[in-house]
Structure 1
């Protein structure tokens, strides 16, 4: 049985979040939570919360053993970008894109 959790419009760039997601992809859910808890990156805290939400969703089903869950799929997609401008030389301006992410995690039993 698969369960899923999704966090949308998170204010972190997808490139930075994918670095953390690649570390825990395919791991046991309990080991992944422990790994994320001690990882010194902003994305680790966010992904840990989504993973704990997916495990809590699985806990609602009677037929699922939470101790045997592992991460089947974890994706970090780009969300909408906030467009800001920064003044530059000679009266010009350049655009700054503040990126957001959609993070989805699917957990399942072996």
Structure 2
């Protein structure tokens, strides 16, 4: 099986923005991935397209390549953070704000798609091995609901016109002064 990769280093974009586009093409055929990148509305898609074309060319140069580009798929693609360029922007009252200009390292790996016949040959061998072992219990383990703690009931204070209560005495004073 042919596998090749290409890397673009120090690309002037953040790794976070590049990952948004790379997630779209991962696992696709290379022709479909190129079409997707061509119409993607992200600036980093142009850089990723260059890296993908380079990975395809690297695969064609390998010994044992059949010459059929349609059999290649994007097996892995990722973006790692590169070094950041730090700049200073003048700010009000003599201060300075820092601007971080990020870079990323883009890697795209392509490999040949496996044939369906090769997959079916492997399937019966693995099926026979699974019959010998006992299957795990099929019932899902359910977690019991947490028991609510009982809320303590508070004793209410009496708010009546008791002679000893402060509230009642202030109320009496106010009503007495009004009359």
Q: One fold, TM greater than 0.5? A: yes
Residue ranges of structure 2 left out of the alignment (5+ in a row):
114-179
Determine which structure has the larger strand proportion and give its number.
1
For the residues of structure 2 that align with 1:41 and 1:47, how far apart are their CA atoms? 10
Shift of 1:67: 1.5
Secondary structure in structure 2 of the residue aligned to 1:63: coil
**Deviation beyond 4 Å, 4+ runs, structure 1:** none
2:105 is the counterpart of 1:102: yes
- TM-score w.r.t. length of structure 2: 0.60
Which residue is equivalent to 1:57?
Answer: 58
Residue ranges of structure 1 left out of the alignment (5+ in a row):
none
For the residues of structure 2 that align with 1:6 and 1:61, how far apart are their CA atoms? 17
Secondary structure in structure 2 of the residue aligned to 1:70: strand
Out of 49, 69, 72, the residue aligned to residue 69 of structure 1 is 72
- TM-score w.r.t. length of structure 1: 0.95
Mapping for residues 34-49 of structure 1, pairs under 5 Å: 34-49=35-50
Tell me which of the two structures has the higher relative contact order, counting C-alpha pairs closer than 8 angstroms and 6 or more residues apart. Answer: 1
For the residues of structure 2 that align with 1:63 and 1:37, how far apart are their CA atoms? 29
| Larger Rg computed on CA atoms | 2
Secondary structure in structure 2 of the residue aligned to 1:85: strand
